[in-house]
Structure 1
Amino acid sequence: MSEKSAIYERSTIAEMTNGIILANYEEILQVQDTYQSEKELEDGMIRDLESQGYERFYGKTSEELYKNLKIQIERLNKVAFTDKEWERFLVEYLDCPNDGMIEKTRKIQENYIYDFIFDDGHLKNIKIIDKKNIHNNILQVCNQIKQKGKHKNRYDVTVLVNGLPLVHIELKKRGVSLHEAFSQIDRYGKESFNTENSLYKFVQIFVISNGTYTRYFANTTAQNKNHYEFTCEWADAKNKVIRDLKDFTATFFEKRTILEVLTKYCVFDSNDNLLIMRPYQIAATERILWKIESSYQNKKCGKIEAGGFIWHTTGSGKTLTSFKTAKLATELEYIDKVFFVVDRKDLDYQTMKEYQKFQPDSVNGSKDTKELKRSIEKQDNKIVVTTIQKLNEFVKKNPSHEIYDKHCVIIYDECHRSQFGDAQKNIRKSFKNYYQFGFTGTPIFPENALGSDTTAGIFGAQLHSYVITDAIRDKKVLKFKVDYNDIRAKFKAAETETDDKKLKELEKRMLLHPERISKIVEYILNVYNTKTHRNEYYNIKQKRLNGFNAMFAVQSVEAAKLYYEEFQKQQENLPEEKRLKVATIYSFAANEERNAIGDIPDENFEPSAMESTAKEFLDKVISDYNDYFKTNFSTNGNEFQNYYKDLSKKVKDKKIDILIVVGMFLTGFDAPTLNTLFVDKNLRYHGLIQAFSRTNRILNKVKTFGNIVCFRDLDKATKNAIKTFGDENSVNIILEKSYNDYINGFKDEETGKSVKGYINLCNEIVEKFPKPVEIEKNQDKKEFAELFGELLKTENILKNFDEFENFEKIISDRQMQDMKSVYVDICEEIRNAGKDDQNNSNEQGIDFSDIEFQIDLLKTDEINLDYILELILEKTKEHDDIETLKSEIRRIIRTSLGTRAKENLVINFINKTDLKKLKNNGEILDAFYKYAKEEKKEKIDELVKDENLKEDSRRFIEKSINKGFVDYAGSELDSILPPTSRRKGAREVKKQSVLEKIRKMVEIFIGI
């Protein structure tokens, strides 16, 4: 080890509990030098893994990996393959020619045993991983494996399980941004991981580290999960993060831990996405399994102390945790049944799909309890997914049943909504040998309880917690930016009132006054685009908008009715493509009595019980919905539930811009595209946190916090709720900073560093780089990229503040266009430079590895194609010189990531079109899209002919263009290739060539 290497002294590591998550952890790292090279990190990690019992594999090539694989599979299964048998095993099962990443993942997670017939005729089950006895698996570590695809790559450190590379670690020297390691893995995925016969298709987990910080994430093809924001840190049971690579290696890569993560704590969902549980999810699962085991051994079943509750904040993935817990509980020999109990409105399509995949016929959502009874009595059905309403009906209709005497685990998802009702008490009284557990993001404590009942009183001890401050620190949920809007001074007395009785008196007279309703709707329409990052220009051909969507929480059904009508009224003169699509849903709240302070009254699915005027209006709302979406829902019976489910899906798909709600959707509903909640409703405690939390799911870099816009004074209520569900110091952690902070700068409480304000950033970049296009290729280029990245991040946040609308620009529009263009040029230059030699430096040797390029944030200001076409028509009237016109259009196109690839397409259109004959925007749009579609068809035909692709390839290329990306990890790309020899990698070369050509075509023709 060099003199510059860190010095390590091992202190005592907390003993393992019965699970893999440490009860608490003391850091190994005592003294650390400021510098460690990538090689030193790599060598140190390999030494640590060897000391932990990993075998060293010294091979460096794909061929050597395959030879080692044969040895390890034989060793695991205690068999010997002849060379021919091994080749046949690879072709038949392990390495099928058309297998993509998804098929490989399925083999690890589900189909890991293969019935192989040897040449002598005997059949044997061949395992590629032993999930029953995990210590039978052989762990090896290797490094610098070379593989060639589109480019030659060398991979840092790989962990082999039975010869298969299931975990890959990408390292960067200390000080380099972790985003760089993430980007490199993303690049490997496109360049070499998924080449033909690559064993790296089997990778389940990626780990990235720069020594100081370490994160892990799943290898997934899901485009919406393939962001740095979905990486995760490892932690102990008290949520203390384990960041340093030395500490991470000692805990996450402890042999039992990594094997259990791979075999128990991965979920391959019904959409073929691989999910890996986070440490707090694993800790909660282990605590519940421990509680069941200890309660069984100590004969505590049937008592409160046999269970407990999990407090995991809203948005942290409770349903996945409870799903995995239920599944693992079924594997306990003495457990006869596991009931997963949800509220009726939460038994949505996705939940049903996940459970149906796990166990067919485990889910039934209708009122009829005969189905439930059959499911309970099925001997081969160990898990039952049902609603609390139906399970309550079952126990009432079946006062005696053999299930009540059996050992049953009952898991309540979102237990804060059902824990105090009669249904839950009836269920508990009927079952004699139960182990009852609840999951909640907002427990009921004495301070927000109306009576003596609390979450702990109903469910037993708190078994694990992961509160909102933990989740924000770990960037698993976002902060809230809360605005208290007071543009209607004459109604302020009503908007600041907190007494429920007085509020009812003020409701019709002031809060539902037509003038107030009108002003609020006018305000929402004015700020909607800013709050949701909705692009100003509507893409006519794509018929979709960028950005996010919003929810509007109102006090009553009458308020929902008035607001819905006002939105229709104020938008009636707008063209359809410019209108916000507004929907609403509400039903009858059968019991207005609240069990805790802040309860949001639970609406049922019985619109027939509503007053006639409310039902008539709901009929009209659903009729409007049917007309727009060509559906056929109504307020009758199951049709209303189907409307609820369809509406839920359309909100998640951003097909609804604003959803007006009274109670439904304010708890439990998960739509990452929602970033704004408008509030004209008095919220308190858990109801407030639940409602606000509809907006704070992570999605991408553009979504930096949940926007809350209140039309009532909820300042005190917000702070009280935060203190209850966080701690005394939580307000600054949970709430976003002020407009003034971001404009003028502030001191970061976590780091103690000063953060530059927007004004300083603008002035500094204009002063240093007044003409960005003239920046030389030297250190200035790096400084510009760093400064402009900070400017983009700050501006992205400020766009959510109303005050920013009136901010006087420091940087002119022309300067900003040039800066964006230069910024993208620098980013592309650096990324292209690093493809073959893995060196993130430009041609002058300047190291850019510590720069995090904010490319995603440029997309919030995309100048889209329709706007450019309209601009061409406008500029045609100004310019007689076609070359001047083309030059100006080229400059504008290059500032936009979404249109850069279309530059030649647009310029060729200008060359081939008599623009002066086009009279209006409609005509130039029609002319361009007609031309572009013909070009697209011609280019697809040309590609199919030149590459001799199969006939079905046209459909695959069109589908890729429509999706906006090429699915390279599946088997479809392989299936369109012509017969090609596999000798010397000829087929792989062909595949990479076709892949690259289709990618370029997608960039050019997406949206056309």
Structure 2
Amino acid sequence: MTDMKDSKEVSQVAKEVESEAQLEDRFMQQLAKQGYQTIQIDKEADLINHFRRILNQRNQVNLKDEELTDTEFSRVMNELVGSKTLFEIAQLLRGSDIQPAGKISIQRDDGSNVYLEFFDGRVVENNIFEVTHQVTVNARYTNRYDVTILVNGLPLVQVELKRRGGDFEEAFHQIIRYRNDSFRNLYRFVQIFVVSDGVDTRYFANGDGNLNANFMFYWTDEENNWLNDITDFTASFLSKSRLHSMISKYTVFDHSNDSIMIMRPYQVYAVEAIVNQAQNHPDKNGYVWHTTGSGKTITAFKASQILTRETDAEKVIFLIDRSDLDIQTAKNFNAYSAQSTTNEPAIDQTNSTASLVRQLQASDTPLIISTIQKMNTAVKEDSSYRKLLTEFHDKHVIFIEDEAHRSQFGDMRKNINQWFANSQHFGFTGTPIFAENVGQDGRTTESLYDEELHHYLIKDAIRDHNVLGFSVQYINTLKGKADFSAEEINEKVAKINTAEVFEADERIQLVTKHILMNHGQLTKNGHYNAIFTVPSTEIALKYYQAFKQLDPNHELKVTTIFTWVANEENAVEKQDQAIKSSRLGLDQVIADYNEQYGTEFSTDTFSEYFADVSKRMKEHNDQSPDSNIDILIVVNMFLTGFDSKRLATLYVDKNLQYQGLIQAFSRTNRVETDSKPSGNIVSYRNLKAATDQAVTLYSAGSKEDFYVKSYDELAAELRPAIATLVTITPDAKAVDELFNQGDSAIKTFVLAFREVLRIHNKIRVYEDFKWDNFAADGLNAQLMADFQSKYVDAYRYLQRNREQPEAASILEDINFEIELLETDRIDVDYIINLVKAIDLDSQANRQSDSKRIKQMLNDTNDLKLRSKADLIAAFLDSVVPNLPDNANVGDELNQFLAQRRKLEVNDFAEENKLPAQLINSEIDDYDFYGHTNPRRVTEELNKAGYGFKEKVSLSKKIKSFVLQTVERFTMS
């Protein structure tokens, strides 16, 4: 690696004088010095021919020196790419239980079969590393890619170099456009994207569907220092050995979502540290301190997987605490380790210890996942299974223990250690136990696990945007938010710190009112959900009843969950009655839950109820709000080990400290999109000192970046942003005038309003925020809504004109960040379902339903829905009033759309003197294949005798009409 001082000097020069071409040349030269062979490939056909030559060379023996014929090579391309998804191609590259890595089998022309090897995932030296640049691919548009890294002739890494100071999200979206437009044939083998402007560099995995710009990763050294400069990044990440390991070893497949995950640097270094410890120091344990939310389960899984392959361990056992293992966690682990040759899941979710013992005895199960409870049952002194496991008493067995701070300090761990005398333990924790927060047994994490192998702290994760910072509000008064005064609350709550006052019915009512009034602001009107943690089951039930009383129409879906033994804090002589009372209370809660969601649970099926609650909290869905849970009241459950990107707020009405506080807060800070800028904590207890203590302990003495900016700081940023916006466009009418001034004028509005959106998205969670506070600056709630609508119009206008060269250049400079707009549950599916459900029993009902739907069409910000709004409105006005009572509204809508599409196609064809059949054929092709047929269009225009310029103009016009028509008439 280059000297850091020299690197910084190079970076400074690069910022000032280096062009993109010079950066590309410097980058290519460095790769050449690192052992990459530079080759010249100008176009896609050259790339395919180059791969074919290398494939023939690598497989001379299998091919018996008879190179592949054209027909045979076409079979190769079909086996490699064909109709495969990117996920399937990535699996083919790396292999599976039934498919060897980097190998395919084809039939030769003489009928014989031959194996062809195209990638060696085990030995880096058995692969050919090359680099080329400026490869041109002609597809829907002509694209020229900056730098492509080839392994054995396959383009596995695509590097895009950007101008200095460019927006990385804009670069990300450009790459996605390239991918969607012209990444075909061998370019579908691209596994990793790298984007850099020379001084800042990111990487991310390719994959099917929509990718998220929030998952562009920094690369670091082992101490979590950024290697952003392209020189340092290339020396480390793009060294041949590291790149080979990232592709072959440190990629995880999520089989439940068919997505590809490339690991982050701290995850890689942790796995390598564990494997090194197991190989070279089998007598010592170790633990990994990776902050909550940083992906410990993936790291632990990958470590378990590699340990089975690269150590002498007889068994590797991934040990989980059953009390914190929910169904989704088990499902995720199964997804990462999906077995191709068996229907057996990776995790045994039964309660059978016999099943665990059978797995331990089996020779073909080197990796076992179990709970610490079942393992303890198998080896404790009075166990009937113990003698069956005698052979493991002295063998090297490795335990991987997730959330090591919870279940590893008691008798179960001692029993397991005593039986597996030659065992080695590796723990994962986001909140280690230190001397400051040690429990009654006096054991720290280090005393249990010998030494720390790697750390990645919360300050590192927030800096890298792998988790979010926190907006913490301490509510001592409610400041007149409802029909009570601040003085009343100060007198009854803030000044008296006793359980009697904190648990008083009146206070519970006041806190509940505060939540009801502020929940929408905190959660983008229900786009996100919340957990509310309280001190006991009794208080959980009190709050649940308060929500039912104060929100009788259930505008917020609120439920509670708890175990009725562990959470009871009543005196021993009252415990039986308390347990009975809590269980009866929970039965009533579950009865309400069954009525709300159409389920059939009870406390007798508590595990099924738990699983359903967990699923609804994780799968919070804008399209079906009635199936969601908005607020989940808990005592201790769900405060550790529960991960959900849609969980954004934690309400706190109990005392928390140290690891419990950090764990609870960290439920809220999973990265989703830019519409979620922070985790929101609203505390109805004075936890400021406890929070500062916990943050100091788990940030290694620093609280930097834990908290997001305060309301006052954000307000100070918002005012000048508003001033800039209203100077450009004082009102919505002024935005309309920009459309007559060209794309550059529209761009000035887009950039100014986007900055207001970004700050608003952060400040909106504070209860002090009201648009009235900024009216004097020139912006109020109504004007903000008007600007939002115009912002969407600007987006659609530039998208429609994207094929115009000047419009395309503007789009390259703008990342619209539509997700920053206020989330709206009203989208195409939602509206179509409402249309299908129109009550035809009377004209009054028809009119009422139609009026409500048309109002939603007018108010929505959903881009897809806006393109169809006039069609749906026309159907409501012209068709619905005349339908018979027994009509199928969905079928009638489909017939109406078919007729309207036919009319619009005929009008377009007549206006441009074209055959309607040509336009319909183009639409059909786009519907089926995802692209039009430009050759057919050219032939038809030639027949019609159009000149060159007219053909170019009409071709673009036809294509634009086809794309708009398909989008406009697709109602899903």
Q: TM-score, normalised by structure 2?
A: 0.81
Query: Could you list the per-position Cα deviations for residues 474-521 of structure 1 after superposition, in whole angstroms to 9, with x for gaps in the alignment?
Result: 011001101111236666689669xxxx98xx43x3222211111111
1:387 to 346, 349, 371: 371
- Partner secondary structure for residue 190 of structure 1: helix
Question: Does residue 176 in structure 1 map to residue 152 in structure 2?
Answer: no
Identical pairs, percent: 34
1:351 to 332, 347, 350: 332
Question: Does residue 555 in structure 1 map to residue 535 in structure 2?
Answer: yes
2:767 to 802, 807, 819: 802
Aligned-partner Cα distance in 1 for 2:581–2:183: 61
Q: How much has 1:65 moved relative to structure 2?
A: 1.5
Query: Could you list the per-position Cα deviations for residues 804-836 of structure 1 after superposition, in whole angstroms to 9, with x for gaps in the alignment?
Result: 136343325664455335544554566677768
- Please show how residues 112-511 of structure 1 align to structure 2 within 5 Å: 112-119=102-109, 123-194=113-184, 198-223=185-210, 226-271=211-256, 272-296=258-282, 300=283, 306-344=284-322, 345-346=324-325, 348-349=327-328, 350-354=331-335, 357-358=338-339, 360-396=344-380, 397=383, 398-400=385-387, 401-451=390-440, 452-487=442-477, 506-507=498-499, 509-511=500-502
- Report the counterpart of residue 765 of structure 1 in structure 2: 725
Q: Does structure 2 conserve the Cα–Cα contact (< 8 Å) formed by 1:682 and 1:712?
A: yes
Cα distance, 1:860–1:121 mapped onto 2, change above 3 Å: closer
Question: Does residue 643 in structure 1 map to residue 600 in structure 2?
Answer: no
Q: How much has 1:892 moved relative to structure 2?
A: 5.8
Question: Aligned partner of 1:72: which letter?
Answer: I
Q: Does structure 1 conserve the Cα–Cα contact (< 8 Å) formed by 2:721 and 2:752?
A: yes
- Report the counterpart of residue 509 of structure 2 in structure 1: 518
Q: Does structure 1 conserve the Cα–Cα contact (< 8 Å) formed by 2:253 and 2:336?
A: no
Question: Does residue 56 in structure 1 map to residue 38 in structure 2?
Answer: yes
- Report the counterpart of residue 43 of structure 1 in structure 2: 25
Q: How much has 1:706 moved relative to structure 2?
A: 0.4
- Partner secondary structure for residue 770 of structure 2: helix
Cα distance, 1:361–1:786 mapped onto 2, change above 3 Å: closer
Question: Aligned partner of 2:710: which letter?
Answer: S
- Report the counterpart of residue 739 of structure 1 in structure 2: 711
1:615 to 574, 583, 586: 583
Q: Does structure 2 conserve the Cα–Cα contact (< 8 Å) formed by 1:151 and 1:836?
A: no
Cα distance, 1:827–1:243 mapped onto 2, change above 3 Å: farther
Cα distance, 1:835–1:666 mapped onto 2, change above 3 Å: farther
1:686 to 659, 677, 680: 659
Farther-moved stretch of structure 1 (310-319 vs 903-912): 903-912
- Partner secondary structure for residue 510 of structure 1: helix
1:93 to 70, 79, 103: 79
- Report the counterpart of residue 55 of structure 2 in structure 1: 73
- Partner secondary structure for residue 790 of structure 1: helix
Q: Does structure 2 conserve the Cα–Cα contact (< 8 Å) formed by 1:495 and 1:711?
A: no
Cα distance, 1:736–1:814 mapped onto 2, change above 3 Å: closer
Q: Does structure 2 conserve the Cα–Cα contact (< 8 Å) formed by 1:227 and 1:700?
A: yes
- Report the counterpart of residue 785 of structure 1 in structure 2: 750
Farther-moved stretch of structure 1 (395-404 vs 211-220): 395-404
Aligned-partner Cα distance in 1 for 2:825–2:705: 32
- Report the counterpart of residue 818 of structure 2 in structure 1: 855
Aligned-partner Cα distance in 1 for 2:856–2:567: 63
Q: Does structure 2 conserve the Cα–Cα contact (< 8 Å) formed by 1:311 and 1:467?
A: yes
Q: Does structure 2 conserve the Cα–Cα contact (< 8 Å) formed by 1:830 and 1:841?
A: no
Aligned-partner Cα distance in 2 for 1:515–1:608: 28
Q: How much has 1:319 moved relative to structure 2?
A: 0.2
Aligned-partner Cα distance in 1 for 2:748–2:336: 52
Cα distance, 1:716–1:493 mapped onto 2, change above 3 Å: farther
Aligned-partner Cα distance in 1 for 2:198–2:12: 14
Question: Aligned partner of 1:519: which letter?
Answer: L
- Please show how residues 925-936 of structure 1 align to structure 2 within 5 Å: 932=893, 934-936=895-897
Aligned-partner Cα distance in 1 for 2:813–2:804: 19
Cα distance, 1:105–1:439 mapped onto 2, change above 3 Å: same
Cα distance, 1:676–1:929 mapped onto 2, change above 3 Å: farther
- Report the counterpart of residue 579 of structure 1 in structure 2: 555
Aligned-partner Cα distance in 2 for 1:610–1:937: 64
Question: Aligned partner of 2:546: which letter?
Answer: E
Aligned-partner Cα distance in 1 for 2:857–2:647: 34
Structure 1: segments with no counterpart, 5+ residues: 1-9, 15-24, 301-305, 535-545, 594-600, 602-606, 746-756, 843-847, 871-884, 958-965, 985-989
Q: Does structure 2 conserve the Cα–Cα contact (< 8 Å) formed by 1:270 and 1:357?
A: yes
Q: Does structure 2 conserve the Cα–Cα contact (< 8 Å) formed by 1:29 and 1:247?
A: no
Cα distance, 1:889–1:378 mapped onto 2, change above 3 Å: closer
- Please show how residues 504-903 of structure 1 align to structure 2 within 5 Å: 506-507=498-499, 509-534=500-525, 547-572=527-552, 574=553, 579-590=555-566, 611-636=579-604, 639-654=605-620, 655-730=628-703, 732-743=704-715, 745=716, 757-770=717-730, 771-775=734-738, 776-777=741-742, 780-805=745-770, 807-808=772-773, 809=775, 810-812=778-780, 815-816=783-784, 819-827=787-795, 841-842=809-810, 851-860=814-823, 897=863, 899-903=865-869
Q: How much has 1:352 moved relative to structure 2?
A: 4.7
Q: Does structure 2 conserve the Cα–Cα contact (< 8 Å) formed by 1:153 and 1:836?
A: no
Question: Aligned partner of 2:392: which letter?
Answer: I
Query: Could you list the per-position Cα deviations for residues 42-87 of structure 1 after superposition, in whole angstroms to 9, with x for gaps in the alignment?
Result: 2222222122111223122222111111122233334443315633
Q: How much has 1:314 moved relative to structure 2?
A: 0.5
Aligned-partner Cα distance in 1 for 2:966–2:111: 50
Q: How much has 1:291 moved relative to structure 2?
A: 0.6
Aligned-partner Cα distance in 2 for 1:124–1:772: 65
- Please show how residues 889-968 of structure 1 align to structure 2 within 5 Å: 897=863, 899-906=865-872, 908-909=874-875, 912=878, 932=893, 934-936=895-897
- Partner secondary structure for residue 580 of structure 1: coil
Cα distance, 1:379–1:495 mapped onto 2, change above 3 Å: farther
Q: How much has 1:331 moved relative to structure 2?
A: 0.2
Query: Could you list the per-position Cα deviations for residues 132-172 of structure 1 after superposition, in whole angstroms to 9, with x for gaps in the alignment?
Result: 21221111112222223322222221111111111111221
Q: How much has 1:29 moved relative to structure 2?
A: 4.9
Aligned-partner Cα distance in 2 for 1:519–1:806: 25
Q: How much has 1:189 moved relative to structure 2?
A: 2.5
- Partner secondary structure for residue 68 of structure 1: helix
- Partner secondary structure for residue 409 of structure 1: strand
Q: Does structure 1 conserve the Cα–Cα contact (< 8 Å) formed by 2:431 and 2:662?
A: yes
- Partner secondary structure for residue 768 of structure 2: helix
- Partner secondary structure for residue 242 of structure 1: coil
Cα distance, 1:836–1:403 mapped onto 2, change above 3 Å: farther
Aligned-partner Cα distance in 1 for 2:147–2:271: 30
Q: Does structure 2 conserve the Cα–Cα contact (< 8 Å) formed by 1:862 and 1:898?
A: no
Question: Aligned partner of 1:706: which letter?
Answer: G
Farther-moved stretch of structure 1 (673-682 vs 401-410): 401-410
